[in-house]
Amino acid sequence: MNRLYAGFGRVDITPALGTPIDGYFHERISEGVLDPLEADALALRCGDSTVVLISFDCCVPETPVLNACRKSVSEALSIPVEAIYIHATHTHTGGDVDDPEKTENILMKEYSHAIVRRLTDAALLAVRDLKPARMGYGVGNAPGVAFVRRFIMKDGSIATNPGVNNPNIVRPVGEVDERVNVLRFDQEEGNSLVLVNVGNHPDVVGGNLFSADWPGQLRATVEKILPNSRCLFFNGAQGDINHVNVFPKGGFLNDTFNDFDDVSRGYGHARYMGRVVAGGVLQAYDKVQYVDVENITYVNRVVQAASQMPTPEEIPEAIHINDLHKAGRDAELPYQGMMLTTVVAEAGRMVALKDGPESFSLTLSAIKVGPVVFFGIPGEPFNGIGRALKETEGFEMVLPTCITNGSEGYFPMQDCYDEGGYETRSSYYKAGIAEFIIEEGKKLLNELR
């Protein structure tokens, strides 16, 4: 017997102009708006159990802010904090959401406080919209818009984003997952709420204008094509996946430009990606498998992950590089493009961890809705983590989501540490972190079976 209720809420979260834009290792100050940033909330109720899942357009919100958001929603709705699932889409053209207790930037302080209130508003709107609903699930495909961004080069090194048509590329490291997970919640005398889950970096637009990037284009496209629909996007395991086709053919580079870090970007390409992923949604939408939902359960677990502390010998050079970067003197470093980003990120990690800690607390989150389960990872998981979690037995569909209830950096696979590269050199975690998350994640999921 189906006992499901579903509701939707949306609020605009576009910051004031002049608010810093997050996502790169150099400062960007917002100068305008290409398209609005949003927070979308899905409320689900079954019997006495109510959960709220929120997705908002932001790159890497500080974990203390997400904790404050969960606490605020919990108090406003009188539901447990563990029943609240907050996810950032990871757009690299969103407002910088920093711990207001640490930043001295007034606009960032104001925006971080405002995010708490606005996400709470979205949750309240979703709960007020609760109506009897039925749920269906399906899987589509979005070919040719997601690519592994780590490559073996001719000299044997590993490079992240080595540049379009780089003759020194041998092959990509790994395979991409092009599956588009789709959940459809049809409200009685209401809307069709369409939740989309696929893993890819939203770093397509660039520049100094606010934009939700391709996830915003996806939402708008789905809602334009499907009458009376509301679309939510939850990004998947995207740590080593982005939009860059290093060997493009035909007109693939239409509406793009070569950016400062040798990455092809463009607003028109974000629109194209949104349309392709929307095509994957349409493949599944009309043919979803409807199921009765008789219960909703959830569980959170805090685990301890070992940190990647520097050796004493590495610290002096790291301090030197970090000081030059903070002083705006990157030009004095003998690196360019993505290698400069790699060296600066690695130095920042070493300086931050030179005195510890030896481990970090990570919150893993899961919400089960009938035979479907969401699994929240508090950072940027590599594609292999998502693939492994999707294979967990006992569920019809597992939806891994990045930057959920925390934002704690990259979680690369073991072999990536063996190979090297940007993500592993900048990660705050020792080799084995991905496999640790998979192991702990499967334990958590098994509790919900």
Mean pLDDT calculated for residue range 17-45: 96
Q: What angle do CA 433, 306, 402 make, to 5 degrees?
A: 40
What pLDDT, in 10s, does the model give residues 32-49? 999 999 999 999 999 999
CA dihedral over 92, 98, 102, 108, signed as positive or negative: positive
Q: CB neighbours of 217 closer than 8 A, spacing ≥ 6?
A: 35, 270, 271, 273, 274, 275
| Helix segments in 227-360, DSSP class H | 267-285, 315-326, 337-353
Inter-axis angle of helices 106-128 and 63-77, to 10 degrees?
Answer: 40
pLDDT band at 54 (very low <50, low <70, confident <90, very high): very high
pLDDT tops 90 at residue 285: yes
Q: Are 299 and 444 a contacting pair, CB within 8 Å?
A: yes
**Count of alpha carbons within 13 angstroms of residue 440, beta-carbon side:** 20
Range in 2-11, 97-106, 119-128, 216-225 with the lowest mean pLDDT? 97-106
Mean pLDDT calculated for residue range 263-267: 96
Q: What is the pLDDT of residue 325?
A: 95
**DSSP secondary structure string for all residues of 415-435:** HHHHH--HHHHH-SB-TTHHH
* Spatial separation of the C-alpha atoms in residues 35 and 88, rounded to whole Å: 17
pLDDT tops 90 at residue 1: no
Q: Quote the DSSP letter at residue 92.
A: T
* Spatial separation of the C-alpha atoms in residues 32 and 25, rounded to whole Å: 20
Mean pLDDT calculated for residue range 60-67: 97
What pLDDT, in 10s, does the model give residues 186-218? 999 999 999 999 999 999 999 999 999 999 999
Q: Which two tokens stand for residue 138?
A: 């399906």
Q: Are 389 and 366 a contacting pair, CB within 8 Å?
A: no
Task: With H, G, I as helix, E, B as strand and everything else as coil, classify residue 141.
Answer: strand
pLDDT band at 401 (very low <50, low <70, confident <90, very high): very high
pLDDT band at 337 (very low <50, low <70, confident <90, very high): confident
Q: Which two tokens stand for residue 408?
A: 């704690």
* Spatial separation of the C-alpha atoms in residues 282 and 415, rounded to whole Å: 36
What pLDDT, in 10s, does the model give residues 416-440? 998 888 889 999 999 999 999 999 9
pLDDT tops 90 at residue 223: yes
pLDDT tops 90 at residue 25: no
Q: What is the pLDDT of residue 167?
A: 97
Percentage of the chain beyond pLDDT 70 is 100
Write down the mean pLDDT value for the chain: 96
Return the higher-pLDDT residue of 137 and 25: 137
pTM to 2 decimal places: 0.95
Mean pLDDT calculated for residue range 311-318: 96
Mean pLDDT calculated for residue range 281-302: 97
What pLDDT, in 10s, does the model give residues 78-87? 999 999 999 9
Mean pLDDT calculated for residue range 136-159: 96
Mean pLDDT calculated for residue range 13-25: 95
Mean pLDDT calculated for residue range 254-276: 96
pLDDT tops 90 at residue 12: yes
Question: 401: which strand partners?
Answer: 376
pLDDT band at 261 (very low <50, low <70, confident <90, very high): confident
